[in-house]
Structure 1
Amino acid sequence: MENVNLEALFIKLQEWAVTFGIQLLSAIVILIIGIQVAKFARKIAEKALKKTQVDVTIVNFLGNVVYVIVIALVTIVVLGQIGVKTASLIAILGSAGIAVGLALQGSLSNIASGIMLVIFRPFRVGDYIEGGGTAGIVKEIQIFNTILTSPDNRRIFVPNSKFFESSITNYSAEDSRRIDLVFGIGYDDDIKQAKQLLLDILAEDSRILSDPAPTVGLLELADSSVNFAVRPWVKQADFWDVYFSLQETVKQRFDEAGINIPFPQRDIHIHQS
């Protein structure tokens, strides 16, 4: 009698293993196909949005939204394939919605922040920004994170909510940008000569814009130098090139004109008793 029961149990286990194996295999196939469908759907959505000349920031964000939605649907189908009652699962998740919301409030905040970034667009893909405790070029705004690339080519993932916890500085929002530099001369040097030389240097550089006009003014009478504020306007793309080359040119031209650039000095007097 016991042998008969064991044989029946063994047969049932075999049948269950075969059935579950087929279901599991089907679920894996569905999952693999579903991931590919999600990627394809994202590409189709992005392609369709680009034809409508929508900003690339919105294109990437909505493409990611489509991908996540398709993956969520595929997950439900996969669970149903292996025998999980999805209707009951959805009901359980619905009743536990408050608890899940509290547990995932950070993620939900990032999603909401991502939507706000896309709607109000304080920055776009390709802009150089400072915010969320870091700085870099915006590569992509995703559902949870914004991806930046730092000047030394590091990839930085910033939670979207971080941008709403601090101020955002967008250095690429305007076509032009002002360079703020200070050059000091000695008290024995000719102020008019130095100022005219600075103006000539700015006028000779074709990258410096004439509108708005550059400013050269006496900034302060410091402890050991007379300081000039030099503030030219340039295009965004020329900012750092002009920033570096202008300082080099001023040093060379001051040396040629015999104008001193003071530096901190300390006189030491030794008294012998």
Structure 2
Amino acid sequence: MAGFANLSQAARTWSIGFMEFDPQNAFNNAGAVLRQLSALLVSYSLSFVGAVLLLVIGYLVAGLVERWLNAALAHIHGFDLTLRNFFSKIARYAILVLVFIMVLGQFGVQTASIIAAIGAVGLAIGLALQGTLQNIAAGVMLLVLRPFRIGEDVQVGSIRGTINEIGLFATSLHTSDGLYILAPNSSLWSQPVTNYTRNQTRSNAITVRIKPDADIDQAQRALIRLAQSDSRVLADKTPSASVSEVADDAVTLTLTYWTAVGDFGGTKNDLTKRAKLTLDQQGLSKV
């Protein structure tokens, strides 16, 4: 009986609602809803079209800026290829991020909060990759200031070798005995660099010992003539021979001369040998 009573009550309520139904009012309400939907559709359609245009134009502009910046940096004498590509990519991605934020603004998204979130994420990534970012910063400085180039013989702290490649994170070298070294850029940037091949000429010195009672002037003249007779010794920088040490058992003479960088090692070896033979022949060298 209770269920039948509830059903009867529902029927009466529906009948009353149906009797109160106003077709004109419902039509007006439906028309208003349709107009609002049409306005929203038009608004979001325009936003969508604008977003697509922004994406297309932004993508094209980013590519043009990347190529233009790469070409412009290529005209700078000595500007490294790795550094050119790095700055060009940075400019490209910066434009794309800006375009993405503008697209979100087309749909009413609060871009200020997005920028703040990007900044927070960037800060977190920077703290997490602090060591890596130090290497990148050091790599950029090495590529800009160029304390060494590929093929040059350098020493940085305990590291000595010839440069193979200068990257954004690390620099590779090989030693004179064939060993491979990969050094983080931060360790190379934070220490003094000795570049043995950057300058075109180098000074060198060899030492010899003569008898304590030998004629020092004769020995000095013999060493200077020996250096001057070698075509690899530069004529515009006159060789010199000086007394560097006097002891009871011997006198030490130092022959100083200049050569081109490429002749440094060979000239030193030959002059050292010939100096010993020359002083031996004149009876001046210390046995």
TM-score (norm 1): 0.64
- How far is the alpha carbon of 1:159 from its aligned partner? 0.9
Using the alignment, how far apart are the partners of 2:201 and 2:236 within structure 1?
A: 10
Q: Structure 2 residue aligned with 1:237, among 254, 259, 262? A: 262
Q: Structure 2 residue aligned with 1:58, among 62, 80, 92? A: 80
Using the alignment, how far apart are the partners of 2:199 and 2:178 within structure 1?
A: 23
- How far is the alpha carbon of 1:188 from its aligned partner? 2.2
- How far is the alpha carbon of 1:95 from its aligned partner? 3.4
Gaps of 5+ in 2: 1-66, 93-114
Is residue 98 from structure 1 mapped to residue 123 from structure 2 by the alignment? yes
Q: Residue 128 of structure 1 contacts residue 137 of structure 1 at CA under 8 Å; is this kept in 2?
A: yes
Is residue 224 from structure 1 mapped to residue 249 from structure 2 by the alignment? yes
Task: Write out aligned runs for 1:4-15 (5 A).
Answer: none
**Which residue of the partner structure matches residue 172 of structure 1?**
197
Task: Write out aligned runs for 1:116-265 (5 A).
Answer: 116-262=141-287
Q: Residue 132 of structure 1 contacts residue 158 of structure 1 at CA under 8 Å; is this kept in 2?
A: no
Q: Residue 210 of structure 2 contacts residue 250 of structure 2 at CA under 8 Å; is this kept in 1?
A: yes
Which amino acid letter does the alignment assign opposite residue 152 of structure 2? D
Using the alignment, how far apart are the partners of 2:253 and 2:73 within structure 1?
A: 49
Q: Residue 61 of structure 1 contacts residue 141 of structure 1 at CA under 8 Å; is this kept in 2?
A: no
Indicate the percent of aligned positions where both proteins have the same amino acid: 32
Larger Rg: 2
Gaps of 5+ in 1: 1-43, 71-89, 263-273
Using the alignment, how far apart are the partners of 2:72 and 2:197 within structure 1?
A: 24
- How far is the alpha carbon of 1:63 from its aligned partner? 4.4
After superposition, the C-alpha distances for 1:27-80 in whole angstroms (9 at most, x for unaligned) are: xxxxxxxxxxxxxxxxx99x968974743x71244347778999xxxxxxxxxx
Q: What secondary structure is seen at the aligned counterpart in 2 of 1:138?
A: strand
The CA RMSD measured in Å over matched residues stands at 3.4
After superposition, the C-alpha distances for 1:197-238 in whole angstroms (9 at most, x for unaligned) are: 101110110000112211211122134211111111000000
TM-aligned CA distance change 1:178 to 1:54, over 3 Å: same
Using the alignment, how far apart are the partners of 1:51 and 1:97 within structure 2?
A: 30
TM-aligned CA distance change 1:147 to 1:190, over 3 Å: same
- How far is the alpha carbon of 1:160 from its aligned partner? 0.9
